[in-house]
């Protein structure tokens, strides 16, 4: 395959971007035989890379007998169609490449369903693009008969498949909700690993929980996240969950499709943000992770920033970086998940973070209010429940934020009986 990367004036992180697309291509099982770059002021609306460059690449593909042209960017359906018509060879964009990797790597039923959904979501507008004229002949919504084309049949079939996949995923989601709820009821706290793909999340999961989940020096090694028990000094029940790695400009189809997997993160009491300290652009990678977290609505969650792979730096490099990073991220931890460096400090940090900002409360809840107290299970940990005559007496540990809302129930039974 040949890879082409477009540099526009708005962007400035090209070299690493090229490294990343190459790694993606290799992860997808392709062999990169040539790479090209083009500088343009902005993206070409018709061909993305510009017609001249596209023709040039078409010739190169013929000459080198390359089977595939990979474009480092997301093409609109029209750009893809124009390029295909112009060049004749097979062309894929970054999103399609990522989808392909996900498809190869998804093993669980849920993973497979989610990938298939993402692929069909990606495909649908691209079918439409090709068939827009034909579609119009059809006469619009609800008309069947002479104007119906194969394309419309395809589209309808895909839409049907999409909705059945969504249904299936929803079933799994419900099941997981139950599972999560029972975890809550048992008083488990949840810590979740997040971070850029290949940062070392799974390696760290293994280090902290003494397990052997799959790790690899390729992108998106983890698609079916594992959950393991995380032993605590305090004896508290804590689970650590691995997550699908993030990547900058993660295709929205994937975020949507993987919402069931990513939902796990919503439940987390603490996020461990793992960062590869050897990455030349770690600041940017961290912002893209945070961007995705905010799209998922969980950027407010407590985060411990973990700089991993310190063993891969020389002492001098490490000293310089550490000083700089500590200033920017005062409560970060520096570790090597592989060489087990800094793990004890991290464990202590996790433990103290879980304890902080939780308040133990004794609540007296009138029976008529009790049904709405399911939230307690989500926002806190119920330690003890006693069903008294007039109220439910609950001992719980809850987050500071939630504690304020509950303070009116802290009063003894006599007082709460008046209200």
Ligand X SMILES: Nc1nc2c(ncn2[C@@H]2O[C@H](COP(=O)(O)OP(=O)(O)OP(=O)(O)O)[C@@H](O)[C@H]2O)c(=O)[nH]1
Site string for ligand X, 254-293 (x = CB under 6 A): ----------------------------------------
* Binder of residue 312, out of Mg ion, ligand X, none (CB less than 5 to 8 A by kind): ligand X
309 near ligand X (CB under 6 A): yes
Range 22-81, binding ligand X (CB under 6 A): none
Which x/- pattern over 199-218 shows residues binding ligand X (rule: CB under 6 A)? xxxxx-----------xxx-
Could you tell me the CA-to-CA distances from 104 to 23, 180, 244 in Å, in that order?
A: 15, 28, 14
Q: By CB under 6 A, is residue 221 in contact with ligand X?
A: yes
Stretch that binds ligand X, among 13-21, 144-152, 263-271, 308-316 (CB under 6 A): 308-316
Contacts with 63 (C-beta within 8 Å, 6 or more apart), sequence order: none
On the CB side of 50, how many CA atoms lie within 13 Å of its CA?
Answer: 15
For residue 238, list its beta bridge partners.
Answer: 189
Q: To the nearest whole angstrom, how small is the minimum distance from the Cβ of residue 222 to Mg ion?
A: 3
**Which C-beta is closer to ligand X: that of 53 or that of 309?**
309
Is 308 a binding residue for ligand X by CB under 6 A? The answer is yes
Is residue 222 within the footprint of ligand X (CB under 6 A)?
Answer: yes
| Ramachandran area for residue 141 (φ above 0: left; ψ -120 to 50: alpha; else beta) | beta
As measured in angstroms, the least distance from the Cβ of 172 to ligand X is 21
Q: Name the DSSP class of 46.
A: T
Check binding of 198 to ligand X (CB under 6 A): yes
Closest of 186, 222, 218 to residue 205, by C-alpha: 222
71 phi and psi, to 5 degrees?
-105, 125
* Packing angle, helices 259-266 and 109-137, rounded to 10: 130
Q: Is 409 in the site for ligand X (CB under 6 A)?
A: no
List 336, 349, 354, 403, residue binding ligand X (CB under 6 A): 336
Phi/psi of residue 90, nearest 5 degrees: -85, 135
Pairing of strands 270-276, 333-334: unpaired
Q: Which CB, 202 or 303, lies closer to Mg ion?
A: 202
Environment class of residue 274 by beta-carbon count within 10 Å: exposed (0-12), middle (13-18) or buried (19+)?
buried
Q: For the chain, how big is the Rg over CA atoms in Å?
A: 26
Nearer to ligand X, 119 or 202 (CB): 202
Contact residue for ligand X among 35, 154, 299, 338 (CB under 6 A): 338
> Which residues of the chain form contacts with Mg ion (CB under 5 A)?
201-202, 221-222
Interaction site with ligand X (CB under 6 A): 195, 197-203, 215-217, 219-222, 245, 308-309, 311-312, 336-339
């Amino acid at each position: 395959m040949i890879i082409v990367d477009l540099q526009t004036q708005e962007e400035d992180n090209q070299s690493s971007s090229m490294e990343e697309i190459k790694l993606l291509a290799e992860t997808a099982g392709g062999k990169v035989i040539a790479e090209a770059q083009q500088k343009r002021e902005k993206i070409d609306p018709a061909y993305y890379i510009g017609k001249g460059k596209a023709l040039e690449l078409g010739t190169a593909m013929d000459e080198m007998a390359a089977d595939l042209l990979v474009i480092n960017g997301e093409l609109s359906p029209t750009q893809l169609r124009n390029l295909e018509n112009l060049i004749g060879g097979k062309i894929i964009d970054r999103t399609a490449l990522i989808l392909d990797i996900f498809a190869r790597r998804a093993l669980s039923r849920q993973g497979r369903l989610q990938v298939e959904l993402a692929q069909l979501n990606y495909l649908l507008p691209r079918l439409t693009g090709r068939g827009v004229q034909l579609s119009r002949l059809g006469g619009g919504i609800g008309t069947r008969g002479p104007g119906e084309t194969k394309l419309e049949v395809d589209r309808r079939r895909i839409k049907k498949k999409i909705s059945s996949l969504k249904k299936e995923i929803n079933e799994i989601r419900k099941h997981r909700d139950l599972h999560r709820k029972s975890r809550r009821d048992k008083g488990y706290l949840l810590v979740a690993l997040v971070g850029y793909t290949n940062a070392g999340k799974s390696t760290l999961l293994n280090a902290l929980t003494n397990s052997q989940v799959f790790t690899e020096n390729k992108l998106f090694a983890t698609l079916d996240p594992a959950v393991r028990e995380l032993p605590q000094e305090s004896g508290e029940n804590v689970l650590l969950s691995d997550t699908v790695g993030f990547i900058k400009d993660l295709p929205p189809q994937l975020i949507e499709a993987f919402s069931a997997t990513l939902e796990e993160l919503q439940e987390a009491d603490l996020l461990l943000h793992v960062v590869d300290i050897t990455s030349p652009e770690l600041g940017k990678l961290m912002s893209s992770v945070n961007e995705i977290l905010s799209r998922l609505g969980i950027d407010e969650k407590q985060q411990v920033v973990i700089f991993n792979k310190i063993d891969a730096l020389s002492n001098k490099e490490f000293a310089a970086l550490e000083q700089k990073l500590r200033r920017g991220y005062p409560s970060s931890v520096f570790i090597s998940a592989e060489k087990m460096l800094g793990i004890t400090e991290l464990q202590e940090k996790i433990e103290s973070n879980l304890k902080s900002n939780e308040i133990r409360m004794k609540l007296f809840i009138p029976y008529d209010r009790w049904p709405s107290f399911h939230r307690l299970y989500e926002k806190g940990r119920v330690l003890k429940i006693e069903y008294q005559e007039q109220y439910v007496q609950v001992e719980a540990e809850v987050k500071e934020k939630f504690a304020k809302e509950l303070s009116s129930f802290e009063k003894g039974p006599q007082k709460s009986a008046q209200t």
